């Protein structure tokens, strides 16, 4: 029997006010995107506009017919375009596991809206940033105090402790001139260790620049990180357009290990070393 999948991008996402509609659904992909533009209605919910110029980020769930009926009612979808608030269609969704087809809800193209665009097409990110500067989860070279100190920003980063991000894996999927750069990729059998920081507005601006956010390298995103036994939504940065893994250069690998030492587990640091070694062997 064909899976019934739905892509959600607003109030149905994790920790959002309508997520309870999906309490009996199965999470298929936490890192997912589809073509479109996300706009803020001003009434505490976003609208997806069908455009091909950018991406909207969200999650994919496997649902049943009863859940679909409830979602149709929530979204005001009657099946008749003339009197529906949102329309529903099956569309292509990109995930870390590959491309899939999922139903989603969108505004009709003939409905004129002048709502402001949601930055980076991510409603959950907007909601987190609306509350102030969030905790930051670093998993790559940004764990290295030496590099941060070189630009005079060390006082803008206050180390809280080790964080654990479940259902993801550290990989090197960003290609630059001298090799790969770190990324987190969804994998339900793995976990990523990192350092949790309190940061200032100045640190946030520095991270956006360092991570190449406005150059399309990384995107700011929200992940749920365990720290001191509690799951906390935090800011991190994820490679926007991933490529096949490439071994990082020595200096970058050393920054990760140097930054993680005394914070991350010894076994996890060894795992990073082994991954880099394997990537270098594969490149020979």
Q: Looking at the structure, do residues 166 and 103 belong to the same domain, yes or no?
A: no
Q: Looking at the structure, do residues 25 and 119 belong to the same domain, yes or no?
A: yes
Q: How many folded domains does the chain comprise?
A: 2
Sequence-ordered list of residues with C-beta below 8 angstroms from that of 184, at least 6 positions apart, any chain: 139, 165, 168, 169, 170, 171, 192, 223, 236, 238
Angle subtended by helix axes 250-260 and 266-283, to nearest 10? 170
Q: Looking at the structure, do residues 271 and 137 belong to the same domain, yes or no?
A: yes
When pLDDT is cut at 50, 70 and 90, the band that residue 1 belongs to is: low
The residues carrying an active-site annotation are: 211
pLDDT digits (tens, 9 = 90+) for 134-160: 999 999 999 999 999 999 999 999 999
Chain mean position to CA 118:
15
Q: Looking at the structure, do residues 108 and 167 belong to the same domain, yes or no?
A: no
Residue 79: domain span = 5-123
Q: Looking at the structure, do residues 274 and 136 belong to the same domain, yes or no?
A: yes
Q: Looking at the structure, do residues 266 and 140 belong to the same domain, yes or no?
A: yes
Of the residues 64, 88, 123, which one is the last residue of a structural domain?
123
Q: Looking at the structure, do residues 102 and 150 belong to the same domain, yes or no?
A: no
Q: Looking at the structure, do residues 163 and 75 belong to the same domain, yes or no?
A: no
pLDDT digits (tens, 9 = 90+) for 192-228: 999 999 999 999 999 999 999 999 999 999 999 999 9
CATH number at residue 267: 3.10.490.10
Sequence-ordered list of residues with C-beta below 8 angstroms from that of 270, at least 6 positions apart, any chain: none
Sequence-ordered list of residues with C-beta below 8 angstroms from that of 242, at least 6 positions apart, any chain: 96, 173, 174, 183, 185
């Amino acid at each position: 029997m064909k899976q019934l999948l739905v892509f959600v991008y607003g109030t149905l996402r994790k920790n959002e006010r309508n997520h309870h509609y999906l309490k009996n659904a199965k999470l298929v992909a936490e890192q997912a995107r589809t073509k479109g533009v996300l706009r803020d209605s001003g009434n505490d919910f976003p609208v997806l506009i069908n455009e091909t110029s950018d991406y909207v980020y969200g999650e994919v769930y496997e649902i049943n017919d009863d859940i679909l009926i409830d979602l149709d009612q929530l979204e005001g979808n009657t099946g008749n375009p003339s009197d529906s608030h949102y329309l529903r269609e099956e569309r292509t969704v990109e995930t870390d596991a590959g491309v899939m087809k999922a139903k989603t809800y969108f505004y009709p193209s003939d409905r004129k809206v002048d709502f402001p665009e949601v930055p980076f097409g991510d409603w959950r990110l907007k909601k987190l940033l609306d509350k102030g500067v969030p905790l930051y989860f670093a998993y790559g070279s940004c764990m290295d105090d030496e590099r941060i100190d070189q630009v005079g920003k060390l006082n803008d980063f206050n180390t809280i402790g080790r964080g654990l991000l479940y259902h993801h894996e550290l990989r090197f999927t960003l290609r630059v001139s001298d090799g790969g750069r770190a990324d987190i990729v969804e994998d339900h059998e793995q976990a990523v260790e990192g350092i949790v920081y309190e940061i200032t507005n100045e640190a946030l601006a520095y991270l956006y620049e360092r991570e190449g956010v406005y150059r399309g390298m990384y995107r700011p995103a929200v992940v749920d990180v365990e720290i001191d036994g509690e799951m906390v939504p935090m800011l991190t940065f994820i490679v926007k357009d991933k490529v096949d893994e490439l071994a990082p250069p020595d200096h970058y690998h050393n920054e990760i290990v140097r930054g993680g030492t005394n914070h991350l587990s010894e076994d996890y640091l060894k795992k990073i070393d082994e991954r880099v070694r394997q990537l270098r062997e594969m490149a020979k």
